Structures are given as C-alpha cells and as structure tokens.
Structure 1
C-alpha cells in the first residue's frame, strides 16, 4: 500500500479521537519497551542513510497540506531531517530548531522551564505547532500557546517550519507553522532502546517498537527524562537547583480498510514535574523560590482518508486535555484545566497543472477551571497552477466566524519562477503576501474583567489583532549547494500585550508593531565527507513607540560543520550560535553572546550506536531572558541498541 501524503502538516495524516487516562505505570511501559526491543528476535530491514536530496526535490506538505516539491513553492520553508536532529543531539525540540534561520528561542532557566519560540520575530503564541496532525497547544495559557516546555526531540523524524503569516489552512492567526512528524513503522518488526547520562544528573531512557504490513501499521514509543537542572533565577542566592521530569508516551497506528481508504489514530500523553523560581507563598504572599508545577497533557486524533486517482478527502477529529497544578513550598496554590476539540476536513483535486485545495475546521476551546469557552469555524480554498514547469502561482482565501468577535476574511497569494541554468544549476525568484487575524484569548479578556486588572486595563474590552506579511527573494540550487536571500516585512495592527511595567493588565497598541529584515542561508558539500551549513537573520523590530520588541535579536547567525569518518560510521559536528542586540523588559539590553557546541555519533554495527554531546563548550555565561540563568558547559553520553 503506497503512503499517501495529503492531509496534515508534516506528512502522512495522523489521527486521534478522545483523550483517556492511562491505567498503567509509565515507568513500567518504558522498561517493557526497552526489554522487548532488545530481546525480540526478528528480521528487520536495515536503514542505510542516503545522500541528502537536492533541496529543490525535497517534498514538503506544510505549505498547503498536500505533498509538494519544494522547488514549486514560493513560501519560505525549512526542512529539518532525521540526520539533522541526530547530529544536533538536543533533548529539547526548541533547541533543535534554534539553529534555523529566523527562529529565535527564549528560555527561562533550563529544560522544562518557560520557553518561547518566535518565527521572524512574532510572538510564540502566533506560531501553530502540529505533531502527526495534532495541534500542540495549551488552552489554559494566556494566549493558548504551543507548549514547547514539554516537547522533547525523542522519536521525531522530520520538522518543517513555515515562516511568516502564510498558514492559510491552519488558521488566520498563524504567524508561522511548525509541522513535526514522528517516526513511522516500516515493513516488518523493528525497535530500538536508548539510554543517556549527562551533567546535572541528567538521565534519559526511551524505547520504541513498530510493525507494518499491507494491512496497516502500529508504532509505540515511550521516554522517561529527568534532570536536577541548575539554579533558574539569578536572584535566587541559595543556588538551589531547579529540576525537571518528563514522561512521554506516543502511539501512532493505521489501518488500510481498502486500497483507497485508510483509518489513522494518534495518541500522545505527556506528564511533567518542573521546579522553578519566583512564586508567592500561600500564607505570607512573599516572593519565594520553592515553586513547582505538575502537568499532564493528553492529545489524540482519529482521521479517515480517502483518495482515488486525482481526488482526495480527509476528515479528522482531535481532542486535547491539559491539567496543571501549582505548588508553593510544596503546598497546593492553584490549578488550571482546559480542553480543545477540533473537527477538520481537507479535500483536493489535482489536474497536474491545476490544483484546487479546500477545507473547513471547527475548534472549541474551554478553560474548564474558569468556565470559559469559545468556538470558531473556518473555511478555506486555494488554487494552484503552473506554466511550463517554471512559473508557479497560488491564490487562497480563508473565512472565519468567531462566536465572540464575528467574521474575518484573510488571503494568501504567492508566485515562484524557476530559471534552469547550466550544470544542473537552478535560480528561483519567489514572493508571497498573506493576511490574518487573532481574536483575544479567553485568558486575556477574562484577566481584564477580573479583580487583578486596574488602570487602563480594568474592564478594557479587547478587539482582534490583524496582521499582514510580505516577502520576496531568490534561491540558487545545485546538487551540492544551496543559497537563498529573502527580504520580509510583517505588521501586527492593534497588538495585544501585557503591561510588564505597571502590571495593569492587557492593553492594546493604538497603531502597529513591525518586524522587517532579511534571511540569508547557505549550505555546501565542501568534500564528500564535509558539509557546511550557515544562516544569518537581520530583523529590525519595533512597537508603536519605536522601541525594540521584547527578546527579538536584531542579528543572529548559525554555523554548522558536519564531518564523516571511517566510511561514514563516525560523524562529528560543530555548531555555533551567535546573537546580537537583544533587549528585555523596559528596553534593558542583554549582552551579545556566542555558544559553541560539538557532538559525535559512532555506528559500531547495525545494532549499536554511541553518541556524545558537549553543550556550551567554552562555558560562556549569557542570558536569553533577563534575570534567568542558562546552562554552562554540559556533557552527555548515550548508547542506542536496535533490532
């Protein structure tokens, strides 16, 4: 049965129906997977890494929800492969992504702590994140933010990043889209187990098992991560460590009902326990540093996909349940519960040079602990055409109806023009324009209506934000080299923000906030064994009063060198991340910094693989968020056994 790439961001459409409380021990499941993956005697298909395909021939689905060669799209898309993920060797998914152009990460004190990922300088809550078709979002957060704090890189096969307000199919509020695809079961039985130890008493154990045949597939994975961490806040003079624990279970299964009809199911459960600094004592209300959160996030999706010849349809139902409890001095302070229910449909009709994509979605958000809820329904359509296999054009429209803020229409148009050159060289010119809107979140409006808001924010009825984004650029490609230069400008009108100076509540800018700049990417195979990757982002951001926007670096650059040795059984990697001109609350400047990391992977044989990673090799002291520490030099070693 061929794989069908249609429905959702990131690859094969995945699924889920409802969330359920697991009745088994997570630690027991991790141990069982480790035991099974090392003891089952079965013949498997060995995976042999292939040469990285030409960038223009890479397939992406994040732009329009259907499989499209990267050469044909005008939107700005980055694809991170499994080989890239293994080379970077970061446990946190946001750390994997910070090496990419126009991606900024702000972390408040280590893994598991508050983490914001910004694309082209836009706030993290304007980024949509999907894993196997499931949207990863916390409805109880102030702006229903993607939960990067608890997303680990285990079992991730591929990441696609769509930059700018071009997420027409994902919602008008998408200022960028991240599509994550987990590992898929291959034919036969396969599995692996991994153990890793490192600095700050860090431990990681994970295991996976998969099986597939002509009838269907099933993939089950579990991981258990813990670390003592380090002191999160600089103001905590006790220097006590703030640890973090994460247990993740992921199930991905599919059934081929016929040659044209597939049923898919995805279930994901994450439990976390996080220590942090800066909460209030339940009795004295004094600011203390003995703070902790316990969280559980369950997401599931069930979908059915039908495709025959040039037409396809997908219908999905997804549910997210999230619960968090907060403790001060180990005494319960408060809790939050929320849920998201989403029904979505996507269809397409492909006539080679003409494609039509259409769909609809209905999303219901609830903060059950506060009895707040909202519903929004959207429909969209996009037309794609090509001329002479060199000119590609798309035009799309989305219509949303929010039960509180009414209707809104957003648009996207794009064009790409390819010029074939000698010796397999290709030059591409491209440009896009998109619009969007974001309704105030349930939390934002409820806060202003509550007892804690005062001054200008007290009772202020917020209205929706509107956005628009434009970019244009060019790309040069050949089988061994890729270079691109893109200029962009994005504007947010009526931006909603929290008053971080007087703490009145949520206010609204009278005019516009902007991000504009340029992205430069370059990669080349210097030799058959040595590859260079580099990118640079210049992003000038400002608010209504011409002040730089919070925690958006004006300049950032990344360099990566990958060297293969011993007939490609040994791979060494060097990474440099440089950030300049970063500002925090009140315009406080943060120091420029450069962080150097190295890693190595050694494939001893088909069954055993070893890895080592050194973060912050030069032991630099720096801050991404004012008042919060970052990790010093840290060393991690691991071993992986495969069937």
Structure 2
C-alpha cells in the first residue's frame, strides 16, 4: 500500500540591508511508504539602486514521491503498465539571473541559468511501456523573457527556454525534454470585464520512445500551435469564456504515438461564490493560454 503523505512547510522573507532580500524555506515530507525527508531552499535577491536591476539566485534541495497512479495504475489497452518499485526523486539545484526594467517599467527583460542534479528521476522507459527511475540525471539551461506594456491594456510577452537534459549513467538525452521551447503571448483588456488573449507556442524536436519497437529511440518532430481565448466577467460571480485551440489545425504527437487534438472551439461559464474583480478575468485567461504549454510536459 502507498499509505498517506503529509507535508509541512515554513517560509520567511527578510530584508537584510536596504535592497538585499532573502527568502528561506524548509519543508518536511512524511510518507508512510518512503519515510520522512526534509528539504530546503534559500533565494537571495538584490535591487541595484537607480538602475532598477534585480539580481537573483537560489539554491535548494527537493523530494518528490511517486504518485499512486505511477505506482499502481496500468493501461493494458495502451501497453502501459504501472511500476510499484518506483523510488522517490531527490534533487539538488541552483539558479542565478537578472531582471531589468526600462522605460518606466513598460519594458522588462531578464535571463536565468539553472542547474539540477536529480537522483532517481521518474521517467518513461525506452519503449514507453512503463516508468522507471533514472539513477542520476542532470538538467541545465537558460530561461529568458521580454515583456512590453504597449499600453495599460495591451501587453506582449515572449519567453524562450533552452534545456540540456542528460541521463548521467548512459550519457543519453532524457526522453521528452525538448532543447528549445518558445512562446509569445499577447493580452488585451478593452474593458475591465472583457479580455482577449493569443498565444503562439513552439516546441522543438525531442528524443522519445518508439512505440513500433523497430528502434528504441527516435527524434520527435517539432510543432507550432496558436491558441486564442476570450473571457467576460458578467458579474455576480459569473464568468463567460470562449477559446479556440490549435487555430491552424497543426497535426502533432505528444508523446510520440498519441495524436494531439486539432482545431477546436470551446465555450462555457464558471460560477464563483464571493467577491469578483477584473483581475480574475485576466488570471483565468492566463490559465487557458498555458494549456498547450503544459501538454509538452506530460
């Protein structure tokens, strides 16, 4: 049996001297199957006077127990089986970077380098028939962004991530970790209640398992998708939404062997008890727009 999983976390943010801040956190996980594990993270940041430049860094450890689905749920119809012998992931990593505002903060850009050493990484096996632990893996790369507030109601943001992910035991690339990933998002709020957004997402080629079993590994093709979304806050907790996924009906597989949905139009309403605000509309919009990006990590 997997048993229960309990966690407790404490965090403190302090200003050591003017302009120098630090955030420190500690977390303890107690799992009936895997025992207890304490992890921590410290993240200092410094604001350079007059320039507005933010220098930031972090260092910490991590722990992630396998889920019940990963341990015990199989899908025989898809030739995919659970692995009850999976062990928890443990990691140690750091990052450092900067953010720079310009033009009265209407323009902002930044970059961050990251490096993670992971023990027992949970990853699909070469034939994608089950999950396995990778004894030792390293992921490292660079994240960059630039955002522009064209007006108070129209904003554009671009993101790019380069990732190098390697199984340190074999020296091979980890499955389904694209080296290149980029997105551009534009958001427009013509009124406090109405918002429109568009996201263009590019995911580069990546190594994946081969379901035909002719070879164990293959290179999956890159893909490019565009999604649109609109939200209207009708008041009294009622939010109306419409979204168009995969506007250009891009045909792609993620993971290999699983065709992703083509062009689709969706609409509906959500109901929320309690006070509403214009910011909720924008937050809901962002949730819709990140859907395609999340698909790439499944």
TM-score, normalised relative to structure 2: 0.69
Q: 1:391 to 1:556 in 2, by over 3 A?
A: same
Q: Is the counterpart of residue 582 in structure 1 residue 175 in structure 2? A: no
Residue 629 of structure 1, aligned match among 251, 259, 279: 259
Q: 1:572 to 1:373 in 2, by over 3 A?
A: closer
Q: How many residues end up aligned between the 2 structures?
A: 255
Residue 170 of structure 2, aligned match among 545, 557, 560: 545
Which residue does 1:481 correspond to in 2? 107
Shift of 1:397: 3.5
Which residue does 1:410 correspond to in 2? 39
Check conservation: 1:597, 1:615, Cα contact below 8 A: yes
Q: 1:390 to 1:441 in 2, by over 3 A?
A: same
Which residue does 1:536 correspond to in 2? 160
Check conservation: 2:162, 2:180, Cα contact below 8 A: yes
Which residue does 1:419 correspond to in 2? 48
Q: Matched residues in 2 for 1:593 and 1:502: separation?
A: 21
Residue 468 of structure 1, aligned match among 80, 92, 98: 92
Q: Matched residues in 1 for 2:70 and 2:183: separation?
A: 35
Q: Matched residues in 2 for 1:570 and 1:502: separation?
A: 43
Which residue does 1:492 correspond to in 2? 118
Residue 19 of structure 2, aligned match among 381, 386, 390: 390
Q: Matched residues in 1 for 2:265 and 2:5: separation?
A: 47
Q: Secondary structure at the match of 1:420?
A: coil
Matches within 5 A, 1:81-92: none
Matches within 5 A, 1:40-51: none
Q: Is the counterpart of residue 514 in structure 1 residue 138 in structure 2? A: yes
Check conservation: 2:114, 2:141, Cα contact below 8 A: yes
Q: Matched residues in 1 for 2:119 and 2:270: separation?
A: 50
Query: What do the CA deviations read for 1:110-142 (whole angstroms, capped 9, x no partner)?
Result: xxxxxxxxxxxxxxxxxxxxxxxxxxxxxxxxx
Q: 1:549 to 1:419 in 2, by over 3 A?
A: same
Check conservation: 2:157, 2:185, Cα contact below 8 A: yes
Shift of 1:524: 0.9
Root mean square deviation, CA, Å: 3.9
Q: Is the counterpart of residue 432 in structure 1 residue 61 in structure 2? A: no
Q: Matched residues in 2 for 1:397 and 1:641: separation?
A: 36
Q: Secondary structure at the match of 1:387?
A: strand
Q: Matched residues in 2 for 1:509 and 1:487: separation?
A: 23
Q: Secondary structure at the match of 1:618?
A: coil
Q: Matched residues in 2 for 1:506 and 1:623: separation?
A: 19
Q: Is the counterpart of residue 501 in structure 1 residue 127 in structure 2? A: yes
Which residue does 1:594 correspond to in 2? 224
Q: 1:388 to 1:593 in 2, by over 3 A?
A: same
Q: 1:609 to 1:412 in 2, by over 3 A?
A: closer
Check conservation: 1:374, 1:442, Cα contact below 8 A: no
Q: 1:557 to 1:498 in 2, by over 3 A?
A: closer
Which residue does 1:149 correspond to in 2? none
Which residue does 2:284 correspond to in 1? none
Q: 1:610 to 1:409 in 2, by over 3 A?
A: closer
Unaligned runs of 5+ in 1: 1-371, 448-457
Shift of 1:396: 3.7
Shift of 1:614: 3.0
Q: 1:481 to 1:463 in 2, by over 3 A?
A: same
Q: Secondary structure at the match of 1:517?
A: strand
Q: Matched residues in 2 for 1:618 and 1:638: separation?
A: 22
Larger radius of gyration: 1
Which residue does 1:556 correspond to in 2? 181
Bigger RCO (CA 8 Å, 6+ sep)? 1
Matches within 5 A, 1:114-129: none
Unaligned runs of 5+ in 2: 74-82, 210-215, 277-298
Q: Matched residues in 2 for 1:446 and 1:572: separation?
A: 42
